[in-house]
Amino acid sequence: MRAKKLLLCLLLCIVLIAGCLASSAVTVSAQADAAGGKNPADFSWDNATVYFLLTDRFENGNPDNDHAYGRTLDAEGQPLEGWNTAGATFHGGDFAGITKKIEEGYFTDLGVNAIWLSAPYEQIHGYCQGDDGGSYVHYAYHGYYALDYTETDKNFGTKEEFQKLVDTAHAHGIRIIMDVVMNHPGYNTVQDMEEFDYGTLKNNYQSLFYKLDGIRNYHNYIDYNTNAQDWAKWWGPDWIRVGAPGIAGYIYSSGDLEGSLESLPDFKTESTDKVAIPPLLVTKWWQEGTYSEKMEKYPSTATVSDYLVMWLAEWVEEFGIDGFRCDTAKHVELASWKKLKEACTQALRTWKDNNPDKALDDLDFWMTGENWGQGVEDNAYYTEGGFDSMINFSIQQGGGLPAVENLDALYTSYAQNINTKENFNVLSYLSSHDTTLNRQDAIYNGSAFLLLPGAVQIYYGDESNRPWVPSSQAKGDHRLRGDMNWNSLDTDALSHWQKVGTFRDRHIAVGAGAHTKVESSSGYAFTRMYDKDGISDKIAACISARPLTDVTIEVSSIFADETVLTNAYTGAKCVVQDGKATVNSGEKGTILLEAHQAGSYTLGDVNENGNIEIEDVLLMQRHIAKTEVLTDTAFSAADIDANGTVTVEDTLQLQKYLAKQKVDFDIGKIFA
């Protein structure tokens, strides 16, 4: 008995110490859990919050794959100094790292319901010379220089690790969007030319190996125009046009559809001619010992677009990919995009039929595309190309979001032009991997952007103020693609984005509803209403109000008198009287009003203030010590393991959750 008492005291001490250690962590939104506190089947792409990340730059979960194919190793097989800080090399991020962050709840805490991953398939192995004429090495860490669509890139991980990533995301109510390129493969690099025996290399080309910078006259080591037979062993002239005139045996062209983009080879996707598997892949598959298996799997001849569609759709049918973001959409004819959409729609249906326990819903495959410069416009990409959405460039190209006094014009326009049309939506963004990072005001952006009508895309680090890469370390676009700033998160900004993001995720009305500006005593206030396909939702919000001020908002159009409302941002409650709701704006001047569900509770939010924090642990401890009694919903919120009692084990589970460790219970989930 004495030993048991000592053990209990020791556990309580551990909890208190852990509480002190965890108290500096970012406050987690009350509704953040494995399923986002909502039924994943209630998801709509019209209200999607998409998180775009570059796999290589996000999180390193498996250091064993950091130097696949000999990338950034010296002649002795040792890592080159500075390999993971150079501006355009692989830095170690991988599928395992993303899976880890999903399991920790990072995306759920942010209200993210779809992750857009950079292309996972195998990239060219070698490096190009800096794309701005610089002397640095440029590897395909970003996923836009394809080599083999049938394999994962080993720097990112194995197919098994990719499957675990997708399955883990689905288990957390998160869809997976894959970045894909049908316009072009990767450049010819000296390493790939040597490894796969194509093209003509000149003497001393090996002097280019084992470097990170100081690259001079890269193309002087390549003979482009002498031996057509050597160059035919690359993709072959039936497959591609080349990115510069003069490569033996190939043609060069121009124009949006048949020209080269950034001197990259251009796939002949418009061709109706049947072609064989490209010589490059025949060589590669023989070397890997997969040739016979793959030649049985794929047809011996098909059109270029048929092969590409087949290989990309295979990712959907094998892994359960929910959607594609299609790169350089304007450079591929609409008929090929339509073909891709139809093939992937069938592939996803097949996967869902074969995996009913993993499928989140019965939605069809989703596709968004990049047509550089396009805004909110309904055009042939939707009707002839099969796209469900297109990237909206207008916010960033317009210099970011307007000031709050001009925000209603944007909200009204978007709600009217997006949410009143069937089969039309856009994916809006603030920051991009190609243009700039918006770091003007993380708090205002977190409110104004995440409450935007239509679907929205967070670029990794928008929520944490990830900085630009210094110009001394990287050039051009590579400055936008730094490592995720896990060690320097702006926790104030992150907490704000989490609260607004989870509110958006819970309420389809935010992105997909009808918008109306309403009167308020401070700040900019509005309502959103959604009623479609048997789903009804309504919210009111006010942003940029005076901090720590009681703000009165006109809500009579959506909430009846005596309705109890909760400010989801702070947890404060109010009652509608005379058509108005009065609630404190909190430190950030942000009010997010939703109808309070009587009798509901959030697992772990013992004091019912809208946050899960160390104070909840202390309340549980006082209940265990019999200095305070928890009842009703407070008791239910404290009974983490749902066994009818509140014990030390419950406090330990909550502490693990606050410390971002994996727990076995749905902490943060709303229960009725």
Is 256 one of the annotated active-site residues of the chain? Answer: no
Residue 221: phi and psi, rounded to 5, are -90, 5
Which of 509, 528, 551 is the last residue before a domain boundary? 509
End position of a domain, from candidates 475, 509, 543: 509
- Which among 28, 35, 59, 39 has a CA at the least distance from the CA of 656? 28
Convert the pLDDT of each residue in 77-99 to its tens digit.
999 999 999 999 999 999 999 99
Tell which of 456, 476, 509 closes a domain: 509
Closest CA to 533 of 502, 506, 508, 503: 508
pLDDT band at residue 39 using 50, 70 and 90 as cut-offs: low
Task: Please tell me the predicted confidence (pLDDT) of residue 647.
Answer: 93
The tokens for 339 are 């073909």
Whether residues 19 and 131 share a domain: the answer is no
CATH of the domain at 261: 3.20.20.80
Residue 482 scores a pLDDT above 50:
yes
Average pLDDT of the segment spanning 37-60: 89
Q: Which domain holds residue 646?
A: 1-33+603-672
Q: Confirm if 146 and 177 have CB atoms less than 8 A apart.
A: no
Residues 397 and 478 grouped into a single domain: yes
Q: Which candidate in 322, 327, 537, 608 is catalytic? A: 327
Top-confidence residue, 397 or 387 = 387
CA 371 to chain centre: 19
Residue 233 sits in the same domain as residue 268:
yes
Q: Which residues pair with 276 in a beta bridge?
A: 301
**Which pLDDT tens digit goes with each residue over 119-132?**
999 999 999 999 77
Both 574 and 669 in a single domain?
no
Residue 620 counted as domain residue: yes
Residue-wise pLDDT for 617-633, tens only, equals 999 999 999 888 787 78
Cα–chain center distance at 176: 8
Between CA 75 and CA 630 the distance in angstroms is: 66
> Is beta strand 389-392 parallel, antiparallel or unpaired with respect to 366-369?
parallel
Q: Report yes or no on 40 lying in a domain.
A: no
| pTM score of the predicted model | 0.87
Q: What 3-state class would DSSP assign to 152?
A: strand
CATH of residue 608: 1.10.1330.10
576 and 671 fall within a common domain = no
Dihedral sign, Cα of residue 201, residue 202, residue 205, residue 206: positive
Q: State how far the Cα of 305 lies from the Cα of 307, in Å rounded to an integer.
A: 5
Domain identity same for 466 and 533: no
Q: How far apart are CA 74 and CA 60, in angstroms?
A: 21
CA gap 525, 541 in Å, rounded: 5
Give the model's pLDDT for residue 598: 65
How do residues 521-574 score in pLDDT, each as one tens digit? 999 999 999 999 899 999 999 999 999 999 999 999 999 999 989 999 998 889
The mean per-residue pLDDT over the stretch 33-62 comes to 82
Task: Name the pLDDT band for 40 (thresholds 50, 70, 90).
Answer: low
Taking CA atoms, 505 is separated from 74, 226, 242, 511, 641, in Å, by 47, 59, 45, 9, 26
**Tell me, what DSSP letter sits at residue 89?**
S
> Higher model confidence: residue 11 or residue 589?
589
Checking if the pLDDT of 378 tops 80, the result is yes
Nearest one of 494, 391, 397, 489 to 436, comparing CA atoms? 397
Distance in angstroms (rounded) separating the CA atoms of residues 47 and 452 = 9
Report if residue 426 sits inside a domain.
yes
Q: Are 579 and 626 in contact (CB under 8 A)?
A: no
8 Å CB contact between 382 and 427: no
Q: Which of 216, 212, 205, 204 is nearest to 72 (CA)?
A: 212
What is the DSSP code (8-state) at residue 118? P
Checking if the pLDDT of 18 tops 60, the result is no
Residue 27 has pLDDT above 90, yes or no: no
Question: Could you say which of 192, 370, 463, 639 is catalytic?
Answer: 370
Per-residue model confidence (pLDDT) at position 6: 40
b/e per residue 455-475 (b: at least 16 CB within 10 A): bbbbbbbbbbbbeebeeeebb
Residues 265 and 297 in one domain: yes
In this structure, is residue 624 part of a structural domain?
yes
Spatial contact of 557 and 525, defined as CB atoms under 8 Å apart = no
Q: Select from 219, 280, 271 the least CA-distant residue to 246.
A: 219
For helices 334-354 and 304-319, give the axis angle rounded to 10 degrees.
30
Residue 284 pLDDT greater than 90, yes or no? yes
What separation, in Å, do the N-terminal and C-terminal C-alpha atoms of the chain show? Answer: 39
pLDDT at 305 over 70: yes
Beta bridge partners of 392: 428
Assess whether 85 and 160 both reside in one domain: yes
Helices 304-319 and 159-171, packing angle to 10 deg:
60
Query: What number of CA atoms fall less than 13 Å from residue 343's CA on the CB side?
Result: 19
How would you classify the pairing of strands 564-567 and 573-575? Answer: antiparallel
* Average pLDDT score over residue span 291-319: 98
Q: What is the CATH number of the domain that holds 529?
A: 2.60.40.1180
155 neighbors 94 (Cβ within 8 angstroms): yes
Domain count of the chain?
Answer: 3
Closest CA to 209 of 92, 89, 127, 124: 127
Of 578 and 670, more confident: 578
Distance separating alpha carbons of residues 246 and 595, to the nearest angstrom: 67
Kindly report the backbone phi and psi dihedral angles of residue 215, in degrees, each rounded to the nearest multiple of 5, phi listed first: -85, 125
What is the model's pLDDT at position 543? 99
- Reported confidence tier of residue 3, pLDDT bands at 50, 70, 90: very low
Residue in this structure with the two tokens 């509803």, named with its chain if needed: 513
pLDDT digit string, tens, across residues 329-352: 999 999 999 999 999 999 999 999
Both tokens assigned to 220: 């002087």
For the four alpha carbons of 239, 245, 251 and 255, in that order, the dihedral sign comes to: positive
Phi-psi region of 219 (alpha: psi -120 to 50; beta: other; left: phi over 0): alpha
State the Cα–Cα distance between residues 446 and 459, nearest whole angstrom.
Answer: 12
Q: Is the pLDDT of residue 324 over 50?
A: yes
Q: Are residues 228 and 115 in the same domain?
A: yes
Percent of the chain at pLDDT above 70? 93
Question: In 3D, which of 254, 252, 249, 260 has the Cα closest to residue 224?
Answer: 249
- Do 258 and 168 share a structural domain? yes
- What mean pLDDT value characterizes the chain? 92
- 358 and 314, same structural domain? yes
User: Residue 275's beta-bridge partner residues?
Assistant: 302
For 599: left if phi > 0, alpha if psi spans -120 to 50, otherwise beta; the answer is left
- What value does the CA radius of gyration of the chain take, rounded to a whole number of Å? 27
Which of 43-57, 316-330, 397-411, 577-591 shows the lowest mean pLDDT across its residues? 397-411
Q: What's residue 116's pLDDT?
A: 99
Q: Which of 17-31, 243-257, 273-287, 644-658 has the lowest mean pLDDT?
A: 17-31
- With respect to residue 646, please indicate whether it lies within any of the assigned structural domains: yes
Q: What is the pLDDT of residue 1?
A: 43
Residue 17 pLDDT > 60, yes or no? no
Residue 301 sits in the same domain as residue 428 = yes
Contact 106, 451 (CB under 8 A): no
- Environment class of 433 (CB within 10 Å of its CB; exposed 0-12, middle 13-18, buried 19+): buried
Whether pLDDT at 2 is above 60: no
Active site residue 666: no
Mean pLDDT of 134-155: 98
Among 335-344, 390-399, 411-420, 424-433, where is mean pLDDT lowest? Answer: 390-399
Q: Flag whether 101 is in a domain.
A: yes
Q: Is 31's pLDDT higher than 90?
A: no
User: Residue 227: its pLDDT value, please?
Assistant: 97
pLDDT at 365 over 60: yes
User: In this structure, is residue 575 part of a structural domain?
Assistant: yes
